[in-house]
Structure 1
């Protein structure tokens, strides 16, 4: 029992001991039966109670007095805050969510199944809550401002596990997983420099706008709106019409929807329960302070992200993590012209930005056009866009004249420093060791993920993932792909002649060798330091032939570090 509760109990005991009555006022009639409590003054009994409670201010003073007190208004306000501490703003975002959850409680075996999964994987929840830390306050506050149930602020956990660079096999990107077309519908620009689907600030607003539209479309049903967010409104409308024809209920739980969608909504509802009572499920959420983490700072023009990092006194990686929408080494010349920065560093950045001339926000070089060069090859050389070169040099057409010079915007640091740019993320993904023979393939006209997957006996989705793409993405001639080929060889480690897959990167190459006069399988194998057995695996058509013919083509996979000239 707390100190204040003990004092209240003593006060109540005193009231009981005195018969719950106060001494009569001297002006009152001796035998008056009317209730005169409303007109009483402070008596000796009342003062005893007040003395008992003095210093704890549990009850507002008007409960004891009918006449004005001498206490100041400020003191009364402090008393009220002490009486009702729940009126104070929570100091933790998760508690703020718990206080404002509004979606009706649901009970369903599918929900229970998801709940069990999250409860069995507490480390997953811990990692996700850590990744959510920079973004969560903004997402929750924006939900409240746009009158979205705060429960839906947990949706990025389902969509992307709060991975800002998430990219799905369905071409969805960012923490809210917008596909290209839907992103454009809701104002999220997508170009060489910038992808608004990964812009935490803009995509959160767009996601809530889409969900509000879907909720209206489904007559206020948030569960159907969420299902449509995942699988598209057409699928949900189709399922509703079918159930109506069959005389079945048309709520979410009774609709026949894609398997992913049938699990999607229960995942969100399960997360709500986890966050509402993490101790019950043995889950530990990383504490997130209930205050803004970042500030949106207007830049008004393109700026090198390394310059931003220097002026904000931040690691460049931290700038990218708050601004994952920027694909390259700088913000987009076409806008939006803003940057998200930790509040602690925003002021110093704004001061330095105001003092920095616009011409110094980007480094520039002069390039003298050589014969045969095109605007495309020059853009590739300097890792910038064709549109940027044309805009800066006021070119209307792609025609260039040898001997003339161009002003080119370039990065202020080595490109390797921009670890989270699209190019560097792609290199990192392509260099992850996998099973098979690593091949560098230059896309030719007519190549598709399907044709390449058939040729190399790999899964289409895997092939796309190795190259940070989706199966439906378009391949462009000249584009470089990494393929971990499974053709012509078994990679079983039980076989003593299994293909050697080195731990070092970028050393295995596929080559085509033309047979010369006097060549034999043994001679070719010895020349390239492979076995005859491997040669036959890579060239099955040779197994039934006794002799090699000059000019015949033989395919080999060789470790270039073991070859001599």
Structure 2
């Protein structure tokens, strides 16, 4: 779309956003993982790159809860729109707060708007004002010329300002030196991606196996209104950095493989500790005899690269039991940490 000098108000808003360079850089750094994720989805749907910055205009990429029928999520979606674009909600989940699901739905909607309106500026107007209203204006007045950059159509002032803000933040990102700011960078292993969760599990358990803090995982997945990832949740996916996503996928695959091996082995072989449920592990007779003779509760010192699933498997116990005995509550393991394996 238009450059920085296409309209004086674009520069007004650009300078307003960067009035405090340090604050702008901090805000941009906080938003960067979500921004990059949205940019990738925009490319998938062939949506103009400026729209990756639309959540900055709406919420600065914050997942705003929707109280009393107010707009919600970083896209600021109202309930009626959420239903139209396929974002579900129930007592434990609000799709408007789901970064992955809402971004996918919004980008698909923006692409469809452009197919109808043929002008990305009008797509922004439609996002703010409504598609049918814009279609009516186009039928009455025709498509606007390329100039001025902010089309002079009979729309509310707030709608024109919405496009102006989008062009302003796009201007800053294209030419940060002009505004005396420096854009942050993000390493590839911190880029956000989704992990398909094929079993119900708590967020705390997912965080442990992903090697991240439970509170951080919750902040990235605010659509989950409880501490549980339910298989009945629409698109039950968790959003997390790439390196943590790979770790969680590996843990789930190992758990699935062990469950399959146990089912094929017959009842005489003990099942492995479960990632997905708090199931006690049956030990064989020799293990029971050894345990009965042990005078002191067992402990384990965490080594580099270990996770709870591996530790539980080695000691024929369950992940949930280790969590409970050591009051982990979703906290990641630390190198050298001493874990209790048995009750006193």
Q: TM-score range by the shorter chain?
A: 0.5 to 0.7
For structure 2, list consecutive stretches of 5 or more residues without a partner in the other structure. Answer: 260-272, 280-322, 331-344
Alpha-carbon shift at residue 258 of structure 1 (Å)? 2.1
What are the residue-to-residue correspondences of 1:17-416 with 2, within 5 Å?
A: 103-105=1-3, 107-167=6-66, 171-218=70-117, 220-240=118-138, 252-289=150-187, 293-335=191-233, 336-356=235-255, 361-362=276-277
2:69 and 2:166 mapped to 1: Cα distance?
Answer: 20
Alpha-carbon shift at residue 196 of structure 1 (Å)? 1.4
2:24 and 2:69 mapped to 1: Cα distance?
Answer: 24
Alpha-carbon shift at residue 305 of structure 1 (Å)? 0.6
Deviation string, structure 1 residues 160-180 (Cα, Å, up to 9, x no partner): 101124548862211222212
Contact 1:128 1:157 in 2 (8 A): no
Deviation string, structure 1 residues 447-495 (Cα, Å, up to 9, x no partner): xxxxxxxxxxxxxxxxxxxxxxxxxxxxxxxxxxxxxxxxxxxxxxxxx
Seen in structure 2, the aligned counterparts of structure 1 residues 250 and 114 have a Cα distance that, compared at 3 Å, is: closer
Name the counterpart of 2:292: none
Seen in structure 2, the aligned counterparts of structure 1 residues 252 and 166 have a Cα distance that, compared at 3 Å, is: farther
For structure 1, list consecutive stretches of 5 or more residues without a partner in the other structure. Answer: 1-102, 365-411, 419-565
Seen in structure 2, the aligned counterparts of structure 1 residues 186 and 208 have a Cα distance that, compared at 3 Å, is: same
TM-score by length of 2: 0.67
1:251 and 1:310 mapped to 2: Cα distance?
Answer: 50
User: Counterpart of 2:193 in 1: which secondary structure?
Assistant: strand
Contact 1:115 1:270 in 2 (8 A): yes
Deviation string, structure 1 residues 502-525 (Cα, Å, up to 9, x no partner): xxxxxxxxxxxxxxxxxxxxxxxx
- RCO higher in structure (CA 8 A, sep ≥6): 2
Seen in structure 2, the aligned counterparts of structure 1 residues 297 and 205 have a Cα distance that, compared at 3 Å, is: same
User: Counterpart of 2:173 in 1: which secondary structure?
Assistant: helix
Alpha-carbon shift at residue 333 of structure 1 (Å)? 3.9
User: Counterpart of 1:148 in 2: which secondary structure?
Assistant: coil
User: Counterpart of 2:33 in 1: which secondary structure?
Assistant: coil
1:272 and 1:251 mapped to 2: Cα distance?
Answer: 14
Q: Greater Rg, structure 1 or structure 2?
A: 1
2:9 and 2:236 mapped to 1: Cα distance?
Answer: 44
2:86 and 2:23 mapped to 1: Cα distance?
Answer: 33
Deviation string, structure 1 residues 221-268 (Cα, Å, up to 9, x no partner): 111110110121234345556657xxxx99853123223212100001
User: Counterpart of 2:128 in 1: which secondary structure?
Assistant: helix
What are the residue-to-residue correspondences of 1:419-430 with 2, within 5 Å?
A: none
1:323 and 1:126 mapped to 2: Cα distance?
Answer: 24
Contact 2:198 2:231 in 1 (8 A): no
Contact 1:311 1:352 in 2 (8 A): yes
How many residues are paired up? Answer: 261
Seen in structure 2, the aligned counterparts of structure 1 residues 292 and 138 have a Cα distance that, compared at 3 Å, is: farther
1:345 and 1:132 mapped to 2: Cα distance?
Answer: 19
